[in-house]
Structures are given as structure tokens and as C-alpha cells.
Structure 1
Amino acid sequence: MIIRRISLPLLVALALAGCANGDSAGAPAPAPSAPPASSAPPAPTEESAPVKPSAGGTTTLTGTIAAGVEPNCLLLDEHLLIINDPAQRAAAKPGASVTVTGRVEQGMMTTCQQGTPFIVTTLRAN
């Protein structure tokens, strides 16, 4: 019984001592460093043409397709190309210079972790 009474205060004292980090008493802990700033999106290349909205909500994009960070994800500027036509999909390869027509789908969920979803209706190799 006596051992229990002595060991509890001893354990509490050791636990509190283990929390001390050797700084002077009352000194505030240093603030955590800020997370690194995210990198800015790449600037449009000379080959990229600006987004051209058309009648009916369709948009035309021209540029070079790039591979996304996830497998089978294709990007044109900051747009994630969603291509449902197998023939168009076969022509869409990273490095290909293309003109695509379609529409932006802001709220669409994808497995690709980058780019604004863009539903492609036509794709033409340049």
C-alpha cells in the first residue's frame, strides 16, 4: 500500500518532467513554420491559344496536351480533358497539338487531381 502512494506522485512528477523541453520557464513555444507556398500554375505557352467561348456554352481550346499526375489524365492548359469518343481518345496523346471544342463542367467529380473538367465534343489534331 505504501509503495502505491509513493509511486503515483513519482509517476506524475516524471510525466510532467518529460513534458518540459528545456526552455526557460514561462517562455512561449516557438510558432510552427508556415507551410510552403503552393507553386503558381504554369504560364500559357506560346502554342496555347486563349479560351474562346462560343454560342451555346461551348468553348474552343488550342494547345499541346500534357500528361496529368494521375494515369490516363490529359490536360490542355488548366483543363482536364474528358473524352468519351474512343477515336478521339486514341488521337489525344501527351505532346499532341490539338484544337478541342466542348464545355467546362465545374462541379464534375474526377479521379484526376488537377484541372477543370472539360467535356470534349470534337478534337482535331493540328
Structure 2
Amino acid sequence: MVTRTVPAVLLLLLVTAGCANNASDTGAASAPAPSASASDVVDLPVPSAKTSGPAGEPTGRPNAGGQTITGTVTAGVEPNCLVLTDGTGSHLLIFDDAAMRADAVVGSTVTVSGQSQPGMMSTCQQGVPFVVVSVKKG
């Protein structure tokens, strides 16, 4: 009888000890989380499609070694997304200049110059991102 009582008492003590540490059961307010100190904060670089030009000056344009693609502009499946389709596949057109974007009309055939950025994140969810530096109609 004593051997069955000891484990039951130990279990009861563990359960009540766990309840005593739970602030929501007692109605007490929980302690605020510790705030981050200056030594805990790490600044990370922000990714960007923009690169630097001669002498490290930002240009807003892709690196040298760009590409030229000719194809038909279609509307993407997401709003405000333009996709250029050619013989190699689909390319998501990324513009830094609104005037260039206006030249890429849905349904038209255009030639774009720029650089493919396969690692670039996008909400458009289709085509390989292509940062456009020039657009030629027709």
C-alpha cells in the first residue's frame, strides 16, 4: 500500500508545482519578455537588383554581360506583372523606369535588353526575373 501511495504523491506534487508556475492559472500577469540590447542586433545587407557602375557608383542597371530577348508581352497571372515569352521560355520583366514599362504593351512584340536574375524574389510567381535596361518596340 505504501509503494502505491509514494508515486501518487510524487505525481500530485509535480502537477501542483507545474500549475504554480503557470501565470494564467493564478490570474497573475506574466512577466514582459526581455528586450534586445544593442549587442543582440545584427544589421544584414538588403538584397537589390541594382549594381554599381564604374568607380562603385550606383547605376540602377544590371552588370555588363547583359542579354537581348525578343518575344511577345503577356499579362502575368498576378496584377501588374508582365511576362515576355520567347523560344527559350518565360521572362518576368522588371522595370526601374515607368516609361520603359509603358513601351512593353500586352500583346506587342518587343526586344528587351538587360540581365536575367534567376535568384531575385518576386510576387509574380512566373517566369525568370529579367531586369530591363532598354525596350525596343516591334
TM-score normalised per structure 1: 0.54
Residue number in structure 1 paired with 2:57:
none
The 2-side partners of 1:93 and 1:124 are apart by: 11
Residue number in structure 2 paired with 1:93:
105
| SS of residue in 1 equivalent to 2:78 | coil
The 2-side partners of 1:117 and 1:57 are apart by: 16
Residue number in structure 2 paired with 1:76:
84
Structure with bigger gyration radius? 2
| SS of residue in 2 equivalent to 1:89 | helix
Give how far 1:91 is off. 1.4
Residue number in structure 1 paired with 2:67:
59
The 1-side partners of 2:71 and 2:118 are apart by: 21
Structure 1 unaligned spans of 5+:
1-55
Structure 2 unaligned spans of 5+:
1-63
The 1-side partners of 2:82 and 2:123 are apart by: 12
Residue number in structure 2 paired with 1:107:
119
Matched, 1:116 2:125: no
Give how far 1:57 is off. 2.0
1:6-39 per-position Cα deviation (integer Å, ceiling 9, x unaligned): xxxxxxxxxxxxxxxxxxxxxxxxxxxxxxxxxx
RMSD across aligned C-alpha pairs, in angstroms? 1.4
1:48-101 per-position Cα deviation (integer Å, ceiling 9, x unaligned): xxxxxxxx3200000110111001111112100001111111111210110000
Q: Note the 1:27-42 alignment, pairs <5 A.
A: none
Give how far 1:104 is off. 0.6
Q: Which runs of 4+ in 1 moved over 3 A?
A: none
Q: How many residues align?
A: 72
Which one-letter code corresponds to 2:73 in the other structure? Answer: I
The 2-side partners of 1:58 and 1:97 are apart by: 20
